[in-house]
Amino acid sequence: MYEFAWNSPIEVGPGYAIKSPHTICIPFVFGTGDAAAAMVGSGRDRDSLSEKMMDAWIAFARTGNPNHKGLPEWKPYQAAERATMVFDSECSVVNDRGREDRLALDAYPAYTPEKGAMRQR
């Protein structure tokens, strides 16, 4: 499990940065930051994070384990710990990230498309 928490420096209006929208991690994973500079900007911070993400995906593709020397130890996801790699300028592993939100949502039924109805979690 990972979370891409890096915020883009690109502003879409005075004081309105795009931050970290859905799919912004893709240029980091594939090393295409220059082609996506209009969304991700440029600079050493961006390129360093891209290297870390590319190395994690390559390691995972080769071995089934995303760990490499550029990241803190990233344990396999288990429900007891919920280890989540947070990709940002400084990468870190956080256990049970978003715990309060997850627990708050437990009070609401989940939609199951196969039944077309809500069910209790």
Report the distance separating Cα 45 and Cα 2, nearest Å: 19
Per DSSP bridges, beta strands 8-13 and 16-19 are: antiparallel
- Tell me phi and psi for residue 8, to 5 degrees: -65, 145
Q: From first to last of the 121 residues of the chain, give the pLDDT tens digit.
A: 999 999 999 998 898 989 999 999 999 999 999 999 999 999 999 999 999 999 999 999 999 999 999 999 999 999 999 999 999 999 999 999 999 999 999 888 877 777 655 555 5
pTM of the model: 0.84
